[in-house]
Structure 1
Amino acid sequence: MPTLLHIDSSVWPGDASASRAVTATFRKEWEAQHPDGTVIYRDLVAEPLPHLDGAAAHAGFVPADDRTPEQHDAFALRETLAGELERADAVLIGAPMYNFTIPSTLKAWLDHVIIMGRTAGAEQTTTSGTPAVVVASRGGGYGPGTPRESFEFVTTYLDKALNGALGLEVEFVVPELTLARTNPAMANLIELADASKAKAHEDAAAKAKVLASRFAA
């Protein structure tokens, strides 16, 4: 049965988070298709990862058989996280926009799993071709033609990191204007926000069905 790696990084819990709500929709549909499958779940807020340090970074450039015991210890977390990614048949990531880019907790995960010569930096990596769906929520509007289009560093960065570095087949689901119902200055955008939210949940469910069908028994 297939394995889904599900990562959430919003600081807000449950339905208070647009990205968590949409990743939950995807996961519910995925599990409906594969009730006996495996889900590896990492909540990067409930259990934040340490930032990559020099010892762990250096160990990644030393062949496994040549590492000292200290280097093996330093690399242990990277080995665990990279192994989870390598075992996954599909990847689901909740990536809300904070200050125009991804949460630092998600960046920490990427720093650990991007390992040159293994998951990255080769023509064919250990993660090449794995499908990934990223729920990139944002409080405002940053789409093409909007005044803040040039401030959008979530999908632009993650496309380079997930596709360009790790070789994942990345698709984005983008619920936007998520602050419209709580920010009086955005009251005129509530209808658009509600439409974006509904479409994000529909897209997430549809993408889950399509990906799940690729791993039908």
Structure 2
Amino acid sequence: MNLAIIPARGGSKRIPGKNSKMFCGKPLIAYSIEAAKNSELFDKIIVSTDSQHIADIAIKCGAEVPFLRPENLSDDFTGTMPVIQHAIKFVQEQGEAPSHTCCIYATAPFLQVTALKDGFKRLTADVSKHFAFSVTSFPFPIQRALKMKNGGVYPFSPQDIPKRSQDLEEAYHDAGQFYWGTSEAFLEGIPTFSETSIPVVLPRHLVQDIDTLEDWERAELMYKAYMQSQIGE
């Protein structure tokens, strides 16, 4: 059994109501639910939320909301892992045993079915791995990062500034879309950023963090441009 869990807390300080806010004509969370459904990988798609409003939207989009997340897992300081563990344990208590679980963020309108399938295929093909999750490359060498201090600008890594870009190792970051894992690995709290995880590399034009209003505006522009490009193909 494969389980999808979409964490979607009701509170959001920087973008009020972010998970249910309309994004290019649909509630933001709808994109994640639709991708999970269209992948045909999951026996259950559960939204973990503390908000009845989000629950109603999720159910209308085809997900299940068998519980409202408890208050102790709904504050600003609770990480994703305890939320996933809570949902897996709930499903187990109902007599079901998911072998693999995928955490899909509610803020992933660019999530592609092909990426979900690729992550699952690669994870299940290698028994030595615990997770497979989305990453993408930085658009600029992180070795040339700058910091501002005392009115001036200083490099984080002075020894790397003179080097050619092609001589600097490419760096990647978490794309914040999905995290496949064995249910056992989630329950044991095994770190996702480790040698037992498989990186599923996404193109940068399909990745945009959505944490601020500026992020939101950029994401909508990117999404509209991407959809227009798909129509033109």
TM-score, normalising length from structure 1? Answer: 0.34
TM-score, normalising length from structure 2? Answer: 0.32
Q: When you count strand as a share of all residues, which structure comes out higher?
A: 2
